[in-house]
Structure 1
């Protein structure tokens, strides 16, 4: 391997693709593995272009979002019984 990281992985996969495509013999197996490797390369290219943030910042953003929307959360502020469609129905007459 050349290094560590998504770009070096892409380069290594592309090198493996070129080597696999040059070999003759098991063409059907190579075609399937080349197809899978190309899909992996495309996925790695997409992931390499993504902007990344630190976990601590993501957690702080999530906590801020939860604090800002706390009034809308039915698990924290319960739904009034009159508006709750899942409330237990009370029957006055029971047939035995």
Structure 2
């Protein structure tokens, strides 16, 4: 019975140490406000809009995935 309690206690201590290490790492991170991060993201998107194929479609002549049109030659 004591072995089970000791193992459980050891696991609990191990989990607590991992949590403390994670919290220490997070405390050292530089943080910025969400409004600044959003503004930076919008500026990045605006600066790279020409390279985004979802906004500026790839010309059909350069698109390797375009549908190929086949015509019926039997008729």
Q: TM-score, normalised by structure 1?
A: 0.67
For 1:23 and 1:71, the matched residues in 2 are separated by 67
Residues 95 and 55 (structure 1), Cα distance of their counterparts in 2 relative to 1, 3 Å cut: farther
Distance in 2 between the 1:76 and 1:27 partners? 60
TM-score by length of structure 2 reads 0.84
Specify the SS of the correspondent of 1:90.
coil
Counterparts in 2 of 1:85 and 1:37: CA distance versus 1, 3 Å: same
Structure 1: 5+ residue stretches without partners: 1-21
CA separation of 1:38 and 1:89: change in aligned 2, threshold 3 A:
same
Q: Which has the higher contact order (CA 8 A, sep 6+)?
A: 1
The partner residue of 1:49 within 28, 51, 58 is 28
For the structure 1 residues 82 and 27, does the alpha-carbon distance in structure 2 shift closer, same or farther, using more than 3 Å as the test?
Answer: same
State how many pairs are aligned: 75
Gaps in structure 2 of 5+ consecutive residues: none
Q: Deviation above 6 Å: which 4+ runs of structure 1?
A: 22-25
